[in-house]
């Protein structure tokens, strides 16, 4: 497979930094009125955002499978999945801060989203309201799917490399 300029490690670094900067700029920069919309609208917007995240997951998995031998695509795909997931859930947590102990500002909400993604759970921030608990469970479920897909892809790639080293004429993709 011919290497494209955007597949270089430097380009991967540039894209990762740019993506992180863009997500954090949107996260901290967009004014968000708390509880301004009716609950039905909030649920619909959350569901639409969750649907977009699931679509992004499918796109990134397909991208991973197409770019089988390009390591930089793996890094871009991981960041392309994790940044929007963390940003989306941090915004949701910030908007429902009254249903949490410990969320006073956007940084607290971002911290909780990252801690939940990492399955660390220090206990200093936690949901108390029913809706907040549901959103947190949805993030945990989506995080498990994302991590599972990434582990599956990495395992498949490792098996293919072993197959190539052992002289298998047609390694599995």
Q: Give per-residue pLDDT as tens, 43-59.
A: 787 788 778 877 877 77
Distance of alpha carbon 72 from alpha carbon 76, whole angstroms: 6
Report residue 73's pLDDT band, with 50, 70 and 90 as the boundaries: low
pTM of the model as a whole? 0.71
Distance of alpha carbon 158 from alpha carbon 165, whole angstroms: 11
Whole-number Cα distances in Å, 62 to 15, 72, 149: 19, 15, 11
Distance of alpha carbon 50 from alpha carbon 84, whole angstroms: 10
Q: What are phi and psi of 100, to 5 degrees?
A: -125, 155
Where are the alpha helices (H) located in 96-129, listed in sequence order? Answer: 106-117
Q: How many angstroms separate the first and last alpha carbons of the chain? A: 14
Residue with tokens 């999945």: 81
Distance of alpha carbon 107 from alpha carbon 121, whole angstroms: 16
Distance of alpha carbon 80 from alpha carbon 12, whole angstroms: 11
Pick the CATH number of 37-165 from 1.10.287.70, 3.60.10.10, 1.20.272.10, 3.50.50.60: 1.10.287.70
**Closest C-alpha among 52, 76, 46, 53 to residue 63:** 76
Rg of the chain (C-alpha set): 19
Residue 61 token pair: 């998995």
Q: Where are the domains of the chain?
A: 37-165
For 97-154, how does the pLDDT look when each residue is reduced to its tens digit (9 = 90+)?
999 999 999 999 999 999 999 888 888 999 999 999 999 999 999 888 878 877 777 7
Task: Taking residues 80-98, report their average pLDDT.
Answer: 89
């Amino acid at each position: 497979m011919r290497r494209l300029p955007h597949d270089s490690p430097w380009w991967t670094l540039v894209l990762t930094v740019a993506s992180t900067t863009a997500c954090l700029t949107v996260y901290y920069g967009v004014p968000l009125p708390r509880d301004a919309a009716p609950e039905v609208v909030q649920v619909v917007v959350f569901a639409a955002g969750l649907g977009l995240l699931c679509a992004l997951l499918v796109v990134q998995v397909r991208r991973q499978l197409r770019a089988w031998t390009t390591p930089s695509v793996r890094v871009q795909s991981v960041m392309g999945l994790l940044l929007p997931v963390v940003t989306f859930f941090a915004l949701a947590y910030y908007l429902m801060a009254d249903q949490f102990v410990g969320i006073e500002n956007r940084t607290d909400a971002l911290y909780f989203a990252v801690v939940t993604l990492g399955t660390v759970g220090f206990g200093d921030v936690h949901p108390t309201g029913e809706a907040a608990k549901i959103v947190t469970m949805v993030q945990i479920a989506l995080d498990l799917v994302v991590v599972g897909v990434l582990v599956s892809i990495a395992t498949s790639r490792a098996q293919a490399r072993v197959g190539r080293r052992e002289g298998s004429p047609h390694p599995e993709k």
